Homo-oligomer: A and B are copies of this chain.
């Protein structure tokens, strides 16, 4: 059961720097300290916060990859230990099976777990292996945490599986990009990732905390818009601006998510599902029409 007192969550929106792992370790540590100073217990950093995003060569990608025991994650573990907080951070993972676009869950006692991005966007397909460990959920003292990364939000199966496995809050390190969109932001300043976050929250009765980045690397333009969403689907914080650094904070009563109550006394996000009608979703022969 989640704790009865609210969980203060923070999402940190800033610009990691391409090809500067030491600088990115320090930068992440400063944001963790700033969020902890504001009272946050669970802190989310952007996707690939250790490495930057827009690799242009295998050499560059390889030089930025670190293992879970590498200096970047270890410096953030040191922050967790010192400040008594938990962190979800995107990082460029070097592993025996290859390189992954991963998110690490870190706490005062060290590395808790890793999620490897399952759905790779554009040139990520050149530099990363697709995630090979499914969608794990981690039981922390305050509640259950799942992770997704960026484009994963466009695959509702992923969030659904995390929620079915008990996630109360889904942390989303992300690098939403302007590229390839005819329209990036609407008249209210929302990016499409905000809508995707809302959908995941309301369909699954979970909290969603999405930490985006800002800035530009080569031709890739990042768009900010970080947000925190509650299980009824309404935004609790954000969207952050498109261009500026931002620290978003919200107090989450995780018991709201754990109930999975879908509004009425007779409805439930999971018991109302019809898995008897869903079999094809897990079929590898499902159509992929042109």
A82 at the B interface (CB under 8 A):
no
In the complex the two chains form, what is the Cα distance from A181 to B263 in whole Å?
7
Interface size on A, residues (CB 8 A): 70
In the complex the two chains form, what is the Cα distance from A118 to B278 in whole Å?
11
CB-based nearest B residue for A125: B266
- Do the beta carbons of A186 and B234 come within 8 Å of each other? yes
Which residue from B192, B203, B282, B289 sits with its C-beta under 8 Å from A270?
Answer: B289
* Contacts A192-B232, A233-B195 given; does A282 touch B284 at CB 8 Å: no
* Contacts A155-B203, A182-B232 given; does A275 touch B264 at CB 8 Å: no
Nearest CB on B from A223, distance (A): 13
Bitwise interface map of A from 102 to 137 toward B, beta carbon under 8 Å scored 1, else 0: 000000000000000011111101000011001100
- Do the beta carbons of B161 and A277 come within 8 Å of each other? yes
- Name A's interface SS: loop
- Do the beta carbons of A135 and B203 come within 8 Å of each other? no
Question: Can you spell out 10 A-B residue pairs with CB atoms less than 8 angstroms apart?
Answer: A123-B266, A134-B277, A135-B277, A154-B262, A160-B281, A161-B280, A195-B198, A275-B282, A278-B281, A282-B282
Which residue from B122, B183, B266, B273 sits with its C-beta under 8 Å from A286?
Answer: B273
- Do the beta carbons of B119 and A272 come within 8 Å of each other? yes
A276 at the B interface (CB under 8 A):
yes
- Do the beta carbons of A289 and B166 come within 8 Å of each other? yes
Interface residues of A (CB under 8 A from B): 118-123, 125, 130-131, 134-135, 151, 154-158, 160-161, 164-166, 179-183, 186, 188, 192, 195-196, 198-200, 202-203, 232-234, 258-260, 262-264, 266-284, 286-290
Nearest CB on B from A238, distance (A): 13
- Do the beta carbons of B192 and A203 come within 8 Å of each other? no
- Do the beta carbons of A288 and B274 come within 8 Å of each other? no
